[in-house]
Structure 1
């Protein structure tokens, strides 16, 4: 699978699963039955002794709405009866029953909406931001404030604490905690400028800081044959048809960082200089950014064929691009593909361009977007918290039952099914600053400043892969991916003094439900056409007027009412 689809953590876990499989006893993923299963259960404290990880003395049942995994298990197990579900049941004495199932995001969201509209909720399920608000306002879900305080594990609490209160605040309504949120990695939001350092060195160029630097590098890459093949088929800067990724996490080829350097934040809801709610795409600063992009496109600084890409990674994977905007994890994808075919490629990440004050500006993606809620009236609301505890501990490789975990990893390696696909809830947690944490500590271990044995499992794996990469550069692509993603991507983020701009609203309003699609189409088409010269720069002013008249003004009022506590 590609990182584009499921992110760097899935790749890391697959590597760990394969490693664990190679040293497992191989006598079955569910080899916990019989004596070993009973020994596991007998070694678990009672819930009264350990609220977070203790086992119920008597079995209880929790009915959930389940999101079906994309992977197909060919072992004969089912979504609610498999090695992962059986392991969690043995740990907790909680029987998870699927009230209903739905595959993929949109069908799952529709099924949740149906449950809400019919007021027929399972005991627990994962909801989005709008659904959480509706459930809380209609008093359909439990207040989890005290349950969280008593039953959440130290690991879960530490991850929420790493968000500086944002995650739990997002899950609260009227000062009460109504959901347990996921936690996104902050590093996934900024878009860095990745450049082939070997091309820079060959052409005698310095790394970029400003717009002018990027322009000079792009022109050199276009005209000075940096790959030395004489074909002159290299390009400057790749582009993206939708122009920016906006509220989403960083992806390939978006121009978000260029807009941010002008203090423009398209597709994000922000406050203007007077504290008023403003949709970032209509701010006047966008016009300056569009003027620069249109100029670059006309002069060929931006690849004039970018609208013809079938896949975003196309010019990168074919070695025509020596620079692009992308996330910290780009070495996992698409750069591993590039380096495997051209071992001369040396990629580095830079926080550029800086704004006129010499600062790197980035908008941030939502800290949370999913919430685990519990039906009001369910007798054991803490059961949902306890399940979150055990699968988060497993996901972060901190489960102390090493033999049993090894068998689960073996199951995953044999079937190709990620363990997380069978967690009861699609709700992954990590530390908000996980990437810079790992960068700092792994670098210290590599320099001999700390003992590698002191690293947590995630960091230890990265350390081991980095050591392997140093000993045999580019011989093991798994080692190269991890080493370069954290050393260069994570390093650029850690060493850069960033100005982080957070959106103030990520939900949906009533008018958005009927007008947002057409407004987004208007915005995307206008921005793209201005850049490629099909519309003059003055079309931006007309766009703002059309956006407001087409429902944008009303939507702004609705968003303002919500964020100011009046809606």
Structure 2
């Protein structure tokens, strides 16, 4: 198959409306279709020669809001004085102090809100998209457009460029950049169907493409003793009480891909075929998906015990199922444990089921959800950009042979503390296409087309683990995890021609602050009850009416104004 890659095509409801979905009614959000991939290896300038990392001649200080990591400090170290902070200060001559600290997301968000409400924000901090909007509206943060253009490192800029402009657009208002966003990995969003290939071969079954194929395989896995223990104790398709993850990254046993095949995108704000903003959980396509799932549950295709599991991975690690939905990284967990329990297991991933036009459809997660902002009036806004440059370079191991970096890695190995726990800001960046990019380069290195020593540190590690797995496939589980995640996860995403549907709104409106928890509870309970047969499929229509009545219509109006009004 000729390898292709997704390119960003911002086209509201165009692609999905141009091809009919399962009920002949196209709907979707911003959709993106794959194109030809262009891989480039960027030169890595010396940290001493690149002005993006330029060291101040005289020390400067910056006060920040700091998110305390869950890990405990190493003996004798503190959150603002440790090997990592001292390394950063030595390179930049920037002294970082903590205006305040907060542990875990909820407490940190409260601290940020308090700072905003009191108009007393630190020189720099990380905020969510709602806080960003409030800070911009109240003119409390710096315009970083020129500072980023002048001081952003080539590495950071390349990572933002990999989002095709989406990340920086999310942080911009009126054409001005007010925050430095994090970048999520695209591959984390699609939910793939993982199947035991050894079971398929034992039962002489072909890999699935359609809903009917998936149903047939599930029935055979239930009825034909694929594990050969003489008992009828295997299940078909496991599930998760959440039903779908929606805007979130893919999780174990979710049904997101089944909904997407019907062109239903629950928990995502999208635009319909007429270009109107709509909440994805209330569109008619959801009713078709729910009807299919309810039918499968009633006939045992979906495991009738899935609502009773304490942990979603239970049937997987016990090798009681031969199929489940999950992201590209499942070989790392829970498949590594499943294979350790049954070394005969051979898992592979498939981008299925396809829609009625033979396309694989997937919704996407937000490209970014956090933003690094600078207090208006802080005299060294470029210092914040330089700090982002430095810890991103360290995170991506752009100086792996440096004695100082090796010393930091030794510290991490000895204490068990991740270096990122000591970064000044909880804002990690990577290439949006990092997983598919690594897959391609690893395959080239394995074929001898490129020198493995030229690979970036992350890719080189995957390459080395893949080599180890090929040399000793059953005994090197670290190699097995890396090789299978790359080949069957990243490789599948790279070679699959797919349509990506991206939500158009990920924030919170005024009415959401009070109404959203109740509406989410109504939605989650209705979807689950319909699937397990506690409610008829007609309950979906009642849910839509009730959702609208309880504030959904007002929220939709608010989202529409924000979507159409943001420039």
What is the rounded CA distance, in whole Å, between the counterparts of 1:566 and 1:75 in structure 2?
Answer: 48
Deviation, structure 1 residue 231:
2.4
Corresponding position of 1:19: none
Q: Does the CA contact (< 8 Å) of 2:268 and 2:279 recur in 1?
A: yes
What is the rounded CA distance, in whole Å, between the counterparts of 2:448 and 2:389 in structure 1?
Answer: 33
Deviation, structure 1 residue 74:
3.3
What is the rounded CA distance, in whole Å, between the counterparts of 1:409 and 1:299 in structure 2?
Answer: 53
Corresponding position of 2:139: 139
Residue 318 (structure 1) aligned with residue 318 (structure 2): yes
SS for the counterpart of 1:310 is coil
Corresponding position of 1:15: none
Paired residues for 1:444-523 under 5 Å: 444-523=444-523
Write out per-residue CA displacement over residues 361-419 of structure 1, whole angstroms, 9 at most, x where no aligned residue.
Answer: 00000000000000000010011100100110111110266211111111111111100
Corresponding position of 1:53: 53
Q: Does the CA contact (< 8 Å) of 2:400 and 2:457 recur in 1?
A: no
Deviation, structure 1 residue 44:
6.8
Corresponding position of 1:343: 343
Corresponding position of 1:438: 438
The TM-score, its normalising length taken from structure 2, stands at: 0.91
- 566 and 87 in structure 1: CA distance in 2 versus 1, 3 angstrom threshold: closer
Write out per-residue CA displacement over residues 109-163 of structure 1, whole angstroms, 9 at most, x where no aligned residue.
Answer: 0100000000100000000000000001110000000000000100000000000
Paired residues for 1:52-131 under 5 Å: 52-131=52-131
What is the rounded CA distance, in whole Å, between the counterparts of 1:273 and 1:205 in structure 2?
Answer: 38
Deviation, structure 1 residue 232:
1.6
What is the rounded CA distance, in whole Å, between the counterparts of 1:289 and 1:387 in structure 2?
Answer: 47
Corresponding position of 1:421: 421
Corresponding position of 1:218: 218
The TM-score, its normalising length taken from structure 1, stands at: 0.91
SS for the counterpart of 1:508 is coil
- 535 and 400 in structure 1: CA distance in 2 versus 1, 3 angstrom threshold: closer
What is the rounded CA distance, in whole Å, between the counterparts of 1:150 and 1:566 in structure 2?
Answer: 26
SS for the counterpart of 1:466 is helix
- 137 and 305 in structure 1: CA distance in 2 versus 1, 3 angstrom threshold: same
Deviation, structure 1 residue 73:
2.2
Residue 375 (structure 1) aligned with residue 364 (structure 2): no
Aligned length: 522
SS for the counterpart of 2:292 is helix
Deviation, structure 1 residue 164:
0.3
What is the rounded CA distance, in whole Å, between the counterparts of 1:367 and 1:97 in structure 2?
Answer: 30
What is the rounded CA distance, in whole Å, between the counterparts of 2:563 and 2:311 in structure 1?
Answer: 37
Q: Does the CA contact (< 8 Å) of 2:79 and 2:422 recur in 1?
A: yes
SS for the counterpart of 2:53 is coil
Corresponding position of 1:304: 304
Corresponding position of 2:25: none
Deviation, structure 1 residue 550:
0.2
Paired residues for 1:350-369 under 5 Å: 350-369=350-369
State which drifts further: 402-411 or 252-261. Answer: 402-411
Deviation, structure 1 residue 216:
0.7
Corresponding position of 2:172: 172
Corresponding position of 1:408: 408
Write out per-residue CA displacement over residues 514-561 of structure 1, whole angstroms, 9 at most, x where no aligned residue.
Answer: 000000000000000000010000010010000000000000000000
Q: Does the CA contact (< 8 Å) of 1:408 and 1:419 recur in 2?
A: yes
What is the rounded CA distance, in whole Å, between the counterparts of 2:231 and 2:62 in structure 1?
Answer: 64
SS for the counterpart of 2:286 is helix
Corresponding position of 2:197: 197
SS for the counterpart of 1:564 is helix
Corresponding position of 2:398: 398
What is the rounded CA distance, in whole Å, between the counterparts of 1:383 and 1:232 in structure 2?
Answer: 64
What is the rounded CA distance, in whole Å, between the counterparts of 1:136 and 1:117 in structure 2?
Answer: 13
Write out per-residue CA displacement over residues 330-380 of structure 1, whole angstroms, 9 at most, x where no aligned residue.
Answer: 001100111112111100000000000000000000000000000000010
What is the rounded CA distance, in whole Å, between the counterparts of 2:496 and 2:566 in structure 1?
Answer: 38
Corresponding position of 1:151: 151
Q: Does the CA contact (< 8 Å) of 1:75 and 1:415 recur in 2?
A: no
Residue 548 (structure 1) aligned with residue 548 (structure 2): yes
What is the rounded CA distance, in whole Å, between the counterparts of 2:401 and 2:113 in structure 1?
Answer: 38
Corresponding position of 1:17: none
SS for the counterpart of 1:331 is coil
Q: Does the CA contact (< 8 Å) of 2:400 and 2:406 recur in 1?
A: no
What is the rounded CA distance, in whole Å, between the counterparts of 1:162 and 1:236 in structure 2?
Answer: 38
Corresponding position of 2:271: 271
Paired residues for 1:210-249 under 5 Å: 210-249=210-249
- 279 and 44 in structure 1: CA distance in 2 versus 1, 3 angstrom threshold: closer
Q: Does the CA contact (< 8 Å) of 1:247 and 1:267 recur in 2?
A: yes
Residue 253 (structure 1) aligned with residue 253 (structure 2): yes
Corresponding position of 1:10: none
Paired residues for 1:525-544 under 5 Å: 525-544=525-544
Corresponding position of 1:564: 564
Paired residues for 1:12-27 under 5 Å: none
